[in-house]
Amino acid sequence: MHVLVTGAAGFIGFHLSQRLLARGDRVTGLDNLNDYYDVQLKRDRLAQLQQQTGFNFVQLDLADRAGMEQLFARSAFERVVNLAAQAGVRYSLVNPHAYVDTNLVGFVNVLEGCRHHGIQHLVFASSSSVYGLNGTMPFSVHHNVDHPISLYAASKKANELMAHTYAHLYNMPVTGLRFFTVYGPWGRPDMALFLFTKAILQQRAIDIFNHGQMQRDFTYIDDIVEGIIRVLDRVAAPSSQWSGTHPDPSCSSAPYRLYNIGSHRPVQLMRYIELLEQELGQTAEKNFLPMQPGDVAATYADIDDLTQDTGFSPATPVEEGIRRFVAWYKSYYLN
């Protein structure tokens, strides 16, 4: 297939593009290479992709309406995976306009491109952040998610609503994926594992929020990518069971689906740090802080729908995932 992957120089987009190329798909990778984090890391990911047959890179911002229209018009994509987004809960508190430009305006441009050019299936990144104030664990795609607590989360909830509208109006198959705390080699420098590793190796204190009383459904990158590919290959279809009198948020009478992709094995943050310390052979100096605005104490993914529909459930133990990340970090930064 010819697949458009937006955010191809990003963490998940890079790994997904590698997998698609490895199985013989053609990939057009789009990225604006913004400076939200180290641009050199993005360029280094991109350099690996550009060495492979079947990969074409386009530097473009999703919010560039004319540029997006031209890209879709000339490219004959068959499927699209939209991973480009302004990420980060905390950054959304200080730069809200970045989230509107990329996550809302940019996503409309993706939807319009798919609508007008006969895309077989659009798969887009949502986030576990949409669960917001939900307290029922594990988080299920069948739960209501109307109480986000950050603009980032609200923008991802908006993406789900916008996608459903296009699925309904234009019979356009769309699937949203709620990712749970993705980590692994080539990861994002603003994520906890990256920050902790860098600080420990530099013998600086690490900041631990909510005084360490946190747990996360940490999900290894290879598991995320496998989930995306399984879903991409399974084109969304209307649900015969859906009812307007008892509406299920995870599906629709339109070709629209939502899935969680998480490990289904939440880990206490202090245990996560302990495993990292063991792998690095160093003890972290710890700076315990209150909960940050927009953050939640726990995440835990119900992945029953993903497993039932695609036959896949993530399987990488956190011990192995941290080991692989540390090995990559040392080879990339210390060699």
Active site residues: 152
DSSP characters over 20-74 = HHHTT-EEEEEE---SSS-HHHHHHHHHHHHTSTTEEEEE--TT-HHHHHHHHHH
Q: Residue 201: which of 54, 24, 334, 55 has the closest Cα?
A: 334
Q: Cα(36)–Cα(61) distance, rounded to whole angstroms?
A: 14
Q: How large is the angle between the packed helices 151-170 and 106-116, nearest 10 degrees? A: 20
Q: Cα(219)–Cα(153) distance, rounded to whole angstroms?
A: 18
For residue 111, give the amino acid letter: L
Q: How large is the angle between the packed helices 192-201 and 318-329, nearest 10 degrees? A: 50
Q: Cα(193)–Cα(198) distance, rounded to whole angstroms?
A: 9
List phi, psi (to 5°) of 312. -115, 140
Q: Residue 186: which of 321, 4, 319, 54 has the closest Cα?
A: 321
Secondary structure letter of residue 6 according to DSSP: E
Q: Residue 103: which of 69, 47, 45, 150 has the closest Cα?
A: 150
For residue 14, give the amino acid letter: F
Q: Cα(139)–Cα(151) distance, rounded to whole angstroms?
A: 20
Count CB neighbours of 8 within 10 A.
Answer: 28
